[in-house]
Amino acid sequence: MSRSFTTSREGVSDPSRETILEIRGLKKHFDLGGSFLDKLLGERGTVQAVDGVDLNIYEGEILAVVGESGCGKSTLAKTILNLEEPTSGSVNYRGDDITGLEEKEMRSYRKEMQMIFQDPGGSLNPRKTIGTILTTPLKVHGIGDSKEEREEIAKTALEDAGLEASHFNRYPRQFSGGQQQRVGLARALALEPDLLVADEPVSKLDVSVQAQILNRLLDLQSEYNLSMMFIAHDLSVVRHIADRVAVMYLGQVVEVAPVEELFENPQHPYTRSLLSAVPRVDPRAGDDRITLEGTVPTPIDPPSGCRFHTRCPAVIPPESWTHDQTLFKAAFTYRIALGNEEVEVGSIRDRIEVGDREASDDEVVQYMLEHTYSGELDATPSGVLGTLKSATERYVDGERETATEMLREAFSSPCVDEHPSMVEALDGHVAACHRVDTEAPGERYPDA
């Protein structure tokens, strides 16, 4: 089941549709604290879990939020619902600013905004019966005139979620993981919310159970006109359930598009890499998987400019670059490795020493060029290779700042120096990428 909506420049549904949730510039940073000396020196670390998210959710649509583990999806969900206090930004629900409201102030909105948690077992009190778990929120929100009426509402919610009314008096431990997830769904549905935030509700379930839960969610969404934020990392699931998709990387949204448009024509290199990993049924489709180099940077100290540039296979060369993209990517990756001091000279000396003779600087330099630089040395133009070698010699000699600066000047990129804006790549399809943020990407960046 998939529905298509007209979208605006911001990558959200047609403004003629009612906005149920508007998120602007939302940030959630976690202070790591530190020792007394760290605080005195101002060296307290901050995890930038969510860092400037803009999103809209419209009435009756399902917006999927996808990305690798640790990209900030769950924190975004909890911050939206004020389960985490936002650092800055705003969240508006049906025009009401609910940003950072205290629990007492949020109570009136809890009925309309419900969440299904990722870990069904961890979100259900093992000492309470399913009946108590479902009827307590009803009592808190004043739903039902009597205990009997609340029980009837709870049993109906169980049936809506695909369970039986007879399960009312059982305990969570008596259910399988899939059944516990259905209990979580029933608890949310019992309050008849307008907005449902589902945090990876099927990630820990068997495929057959996943399909049952997803189909049930679609049925209920259609029946009750629910708006939904559906958080996932499985893009096959997303294609089945979503209307639009927002792709997150390192705390930021990098692309938003209608679901079929995203799958057929992804604009951001990160989105392309995610989609390339989706299993294909047709063995003739070929292997075009994009393997990302390196690891996801720490959200404590994210990269400058485009946060994806340290792993991007399409990082943009300077306009003066006259060689191909592959060569630039190899040199640029080498720059990142030395700039992050990922290469330990002492370890290399120990690795290549012969007998009692310590490896020379020249041998260490050659080893680094052969094993850290991913390009082919014989095919690397002399000017590029000369720069790489000179910088490596200084790195080995202990002049690491000088080496880094040499590589930075030789292999510069707007991806490092400038933060990309979220711009319209196609009608209703936006992305935060410098390759998109130009009037003629094919002319300026022929390798795009």
User: What is the three-state SS of 158-183?
Assistant: HHHCCCCHHHHHCCHHHCCHHHHHHH
Q: Looking at the structure, do residues 147 and 234 belong to the same domain, yes or no?
A: yes
Q: Which position has the token pair 């583990």?
A: 69
DSSP states of 302-364? PPSSSTTTTT-TTPPPPTT--S-HHHHHHHHHHHHHHHTT---HHHHHHHH-BTTBPPPHHHH
Q: Which residue has the tokens 């990160």?
A: 270
Containing structural domain, residue 189:
19-282
Do 259 and 337 lie in a common domain? no
- Domain presence at residue 444: no
Q: The domain spanning residue 142 has which CATH number?
A: 3.40.50.300
**Domain's final residue, options 282, 307, 337:** 282
pLDDT digit string, tens, across residues 428-442:
799 999 988 764 344
Looking at the structure, tell me whether residues 79 and 223 fall in a common domain: yes
Phi, psi of 7 (to 5 degrees): -120, 160
In a domain, 81, yes or no: yes
pLDDT in tens, 171-194: 999 998 888 988 988 998 889 899
Mean pLDDT of 45-51: 92
What proportions of the chain, in percent to the nearest 5, are helix, strand and coil?
40, 20, 40
On the question of pLDDT at 15 being above 70, the answer is: no
Residue 168 and residue 56 share a domain: yes
Look at residue 270 and tell me if it is in a domain.
yes
pLDDT of residue 410: 94
Q: What is the pLDDT of residues 100-120, one digit of tens each?
A: 899 889 988 998 999 998 887
Using the 3D structure, point to which of 226, 248, 282 is the last residue of a domain: 282
235: helix, coil or strand? helix
Q: Say yes or no to pLDDT of 354 above 80.
A: no
> Any idea which of 197-206, 246-255, 321-330, 380-389 has the lowest mean pLDDT?
197-206
Same-domain check for residues 71 and 134? yes
Q: What percent of the chain is modeled with pLDDT above 70?
A: 89
Which pair of tokens denotes residue 245? 């998709």
72 lies in the same domain as 177? yes
Q: What is the pTM of this model?
A: 0.86
- Give the model's confidence band at 284: pLDDT under 50 very low, under 70 low, under 90 confident, else very high: low
Mean pLDDT for 402-419 is: 94
Percent of the chain with pLDDT over 90: 60
Task: Give the span between the Cα atoms of 353 and 375, in whole angstroms.
Answer: 25
Q: Is residue 443 a part of any domain in this protein?
A: no
233 and 339 inside one domain: no
For residues 259 and 38, which has the higher predicted lDDT (pLDDT)?
259
Report how far apart, in Å, the C-alpha atoms of 73 and of each of 23, 76, 192, 199 are. 14, 5, 24, 8
Q: Is residue 274 in some structural domain?
A: yes
- Give pLDDT, residue 45: 79
282, 312, 344: which is the final residue of a domain? 282
In terms of domains, do 348 and 260 share one?
Answer: no
With bands split at pLDDT 50, 70 and 90, how would you rate the model's confidence at 39?
low
Where is pLDDT greater, at 299 or 444?
Answer: 299
Which has more confidence, 389 or 358?
389
Domain count, the chain: 2
Average pLDDT, the chain: 86
Asked if the structure places residue 350 within a domain, the reply is yes
pLDDT tens digits for 159-168? 988 889 999 9
Asked if residue 278 is part of any domain, the answer here is yes
Residue 70 domain flag = yes
202 and 53 fall within a common domain: yes
pLDDT of residue 285: 54
Q: What is the pLDDT of residue 329?
A: 93
pLDDT at 448: 42
pLDDT given for residue 256 in this prediction: 96
Q: What is the mean pLDDT of residues 250-275?
A: 94
Confidence of residue 41 (pLDDT cuts 50, 70, 90): very low
268 neighbors 276 (Cβ within 8 angstroms): no
CA distance 124 to 105: 24
Torsion angle, CA of 70/76/78/80, rounded to 10 degrees? Answer: 180
- Residue 208's pLDDT band (cuts 50, 70, 90): confident
Same domain, 332 and 278: no
Separation CA 56–CA 83 (nearest Å):
19
246 in Cβ contact with 13 (< 8 Å): no
- Shared domain for 47 and 161, answered yes or no, is yes
Query: Above 90 in pLDDT, residue 394?
Result: yes
Instruction: Answer yes or no: do 199 and 50 share one domain.
Output: yes
pLDDT of amino acid 32: 80
Element (H, E) at 419: none
- Name the band, by pLDDT with cuts 50, 70 and 90, for residue 283: low
Q: Which range scores top for mean pLDDT: 68-72, 74-78, 350-354?
A: 74-78
pLDDT digits (tens, 9 = 90+) for 312-325: 988 999 988 999 98
141-152 pLDDT per residue, tens: 999 899 999 999
Q: What is the pLDDT of residues 222-248, one digit of tens each?
A: 888 899 999 998 888 899 899 999 999
Q: What's the mean pLDDT in 49-66? A: 96
- 162: region left, alpha or beta (phi > 0 left; psi from -120 to 50 alpha): left
Decide if pLDDT at 43 tops 70: no
Nearest CA to 166 out of 178, 179, 185 is that of 179
